[in-house]
Amino acid sequence: MHSFSPLLVVAVALIDPDGRVLLQQRPPGKPMAGLWEFPGGKIEPGETPELALIRELEEELGIRTHASCLAPATFASEALGERHLLLLLYVCRKWEGIPEARHATALKWVRPAQMYALDMPPADLPLIGLLDALI
Ligand SMILES: Nc1nc2c([nH]c(=O)n2[C@H]2C[C@H](O)[C@@H](COP(=O)(O)OP(=O)(O)OP(=O)(O)O)O2)c(=O)[nH]1
């Protein structure tokens, strides 16, 4: 029987009071370098999605949030080389600290409609319209 072992990734749309969303640019040397993505990363064994996201936000942006501030929004399902990516997208409007690019090349606050003009990973493209309707 074929065994399905997806790559589980958790990511978040941080939304500011003006309805803009934070994107970060993937650094050189990583797959999909230069593309604009939602902050997040792989869920490590034993982690819940929420704890993985809280950890990634601290590591990547130096901000702190709480599981109760993370609302499940939608997901992406996409072939990724030999693997299959399942990306769980949360939204978050409440955090502590000011995001700084600790891993990314750059950060950018954008409205969902502006995302169509940016290079984003293929899995993210179906998420843009959903975010636009949600915010
Ligand atoms: N964070 C994030 N990853 C995305 C998005 N869209 C998308 O296809 N991905 C893919 C890219 C990667 O294959 C995977 C995330 O893995 P990663 O390597 O960036 O995560 P990580 O922070 O755990 O990285 P590392 O420790 O392995 O370097 O998900 C997105 O919007 N945000």
Tokens of 121: 């990973």
**2 falls within a domain:** no
For the sheet with 107-110, list strands across it.
36-37, 21-25, 107-110
**53 falls within a domain:** yes
Residue keyed to tokens 């984003």:
120
Choosing from 42, 60, 61, 103 the residue with most ligand 1 atoms within 8 A of its CB, the one to mutate for a pocket test is: 42
| Cα 78 from Cα 87, distance rounded (Å) | 8
Give one word for 96, left, alpha or beta, with left for phi > 0 and alpha for psi -120 to 50.
beta
**112 falls within a domain:** yes
Tell whether the model's pLDDT for residue 38 goes beyond 90. Answer: yes
CA 1–ligand 1 middle distance (angstroms): 28
Tell whether the model's pLDDT for residue 122 goes beyond 80. Answer: yes
Query: Does 50 sit in the ligand 1 pocket, CB within 6 Å?
Result: no
CATH number for the domain that contains residue 16: 3.90.79.10
Tell whether the model's pLDDT for residue 118 goes beyond 90. Answer: yes
* Residues spanned by the domain of 12: 7-134
**1 falls within a domain:** no
Condensed to tens digits (0 to 9), the pLDDT of residues 52-102 reads 999 999 999 999 999 999 999 999 999 999 999 999 999 999 999 999 999
Count up the domains in the chain and report the number.
Answer: 1
| Cα 81 from Cα 98, distance rounded (Å) | 35
CA 41–ligand 1 middle distance (angstroms): 4
CA 135–ligand 1 middle distance (angstroms): 23
| Cα 117 from Cα 99, distance rounded (Å) | 23
What pLDDT sits at residue 1? 57
CA 9–ligand 1 middle distance (angstroms): 7
To the nearest whole number, what is the mean pLDDT of the chain? 96
Kindly indicate the confidence band of residue 4, based on its pLDDT and cuts at 50, 70 and 90.
confident
**46 falls within a domain:** yes
Determine the average pLDDT of the residues in 14-32: 97
**61 falls within a domain:** yes
Residues in CB range of 63: below 8 A, 6 or more apart: 14, 57, 95, 96, 97, 98, 99
